[in-house]
Amino acid sequence: MTATSSTKESAEELDERLVRRSLVRGAMSRPELGAVVGALAVFVFFSVVADSFLETSSLSTVLYASSTIGIMAVPVALLMIGGEFDLSTGVMVTSSALVSSMFSYQMTANVWVGIGVSLLVTLAIGVFNGVMLSRTKLPSFIITLGTFLMLTGLNLGLTKQISGTVSTKSISDMEGFPAAQKVFASQLTLFDVDFQVTILWWFGLVAVATWVLLRTRAGNWIFAVGGGSDAARAVGVPVARTKIGLYMGVALAAWISGQHLLFNYDVVQSGEGVGNELIYIAAAVIGGCLLTGGYGSAVGAAVGAFIFGMTSKGIVYAQWEPDWFKFFLGAMLLLATLLNAWIRKRAEAS
């Protein structure tokens, strides 16, 4: 009796082990694995060196910081999987916020009208990037660098022309503002801690992007155009349409971030956003996207944004010498990415 049960158990154990191994192998081949391990390492590190890092209120702050990066990093990752760059993302967020704010104010319109106009304008910028790219066949680096500079100038020039100053007027007393603020910049209380609504937007975008990448035809197209656009075109993938779509995805996220910027602070400084584009790209790369395209994941980019958020706030929680902030940030990110690359190499070897 006992003998049979023990053999049965051992047989089950064997099965379980088999299952587990394939799970492990499955996990090992995922692009976000390295980033997840890197994130764990950063998390454990700051839990040890920073006293207040583990409190739920701190978690909320870290998640907020991560979400403002992550909302953009996710579509930027998709774009990079599709083999292209976008350097205009940082200022596009500001453009989107400015359009929304100034349209509502100048037309004395309900703020939702401004939000709608802003969505159209921002998507148009995305379409412009995508169409220019497919028509001219120039590197996206150059095209979007042009857009970046033009938008930086437009943000300043138009704001100054229309508002008379370099920041917009407050729209917090206008109709529709409270509702829009609920959607884009409110706090949700969970276990007595306030969490920013951007975290939900972020998670939502990750879910949608992952679904598109892994479960739809468009997802296959994205991997195909990133892997080699000529080969993709030869097998019938609509390359131009896919890339324009990807740029529109980035624009959509820029619109969400822009509306958050506007409704969180109710005035927008026109010079903001410069330099953020590199942070979004960095988050995607930390999360396992290749700079050459064809490889990466939305979850990875989200984890990359989380690593960035944890590191930049963790340094503050740890109360390190502020003059060295950028150095620590750079060093931590490099370490997290090295760990990521090392694990991936291991995984590929096994």
Partner 1 sequence: MTAALLAAGCSSTGGKKAAERESGAGGGKGVDTPRMDIAMVSHSGDGDTFWDIVQSGAKQAAVKDNVRLDYSHDEAGPQQAQLVQTAIDKKVDGLVVTLAKPDAVGPAVRKAVEAGIPVVTINSGAEHSAKLGALSHIGQDEKIAGEAVGAELNARGHEKALCLIHEQGNVSLDERCAGVADTFDGEVDNLNVDGTNMPDVESSVTAKLQSDEDVDTVVALGAPFAATAAKAADATGSEAEINTFDLNAKVVAGLKDGTIGFAVDQQPYLQGYEAVDALWLHAYNANELGGGRPVLTGPAIVTEKDVPRLEKYTGRGTR
What residues line the site for partner 1 (CB under 8 A)? 50-52, 55, 57-58, 61-62, 64-65, 68, 104-113, 152, 155-156, 159-160, 164-167, 169-176, 187, 194, 260-261, 264-265, 267, 269-276, 309, 312-313, 316-319, 322-323, 325-326
CB distance 39 to 310 below 8 Å: yes
- Of the pair 147, 210, the CB lying nearest partner 1 is at 147
Task: Find the shortest distance in angstroms from Cβ 275 to partner 1.
Answer: 6
The torsion angle over the Cα atoms of residues 54, 321, 40 and 187, rounded to 10 degrees, is 50
Least separation in angstroms between residue 316's CB and partner 1 is 4
d(CA 299, CA 291): 17
Q: Tell me the closest approach of the beta carbon of residue 48 to partner 1, in angstroms.
A: 15
Q: Which CB atom, from 140 or from 152, has the smaller least distance to partner 1? A: 152
Residue nearer to partner 1 on the CB measure, 95 or 297? 95
Q: Between 45 and 223, whose beta carbon lies closer to partner 1?
A: 45
DSSP letters for 285-317:
HHTT--TTSS---HHHHHHHHHHHHHHHHHHHH
Please answer whether residues 206 and 298 qualify as being in contact, where contact means their C-beta atoms are separated by less than 8 angstroms: yes
For the chain, the distance separating the N- and C-terminal CA atoms, rounded to the nearest angstrom, is 40
Axis-axis angle for helices 89-107, 111-136 (nearest 10): 140
The CA distance from 211 to 51, in Å, is 38
In the complex, minimum distance from the CB of residue 331 to partner 1, in angstroms, rounded to a whole number: 16
Query: In this complex, which beta carbon is closest to partner 1, that of residue 144 or of residue 168?
Result: 168
3-state secondary structure at position 228: coil
Question: Of the two residues 84 and 272, which places its CB atom closer to partner 1 in the complex?
Answer: 272
CB 93 within 8 A of CB 76: no
Give least dist CB 247 to partner 1, A: 23
Shortest Å distance, C-beta 3 to partner 1:
60
Residue that the structure tokens 């060295």 belong to: 324
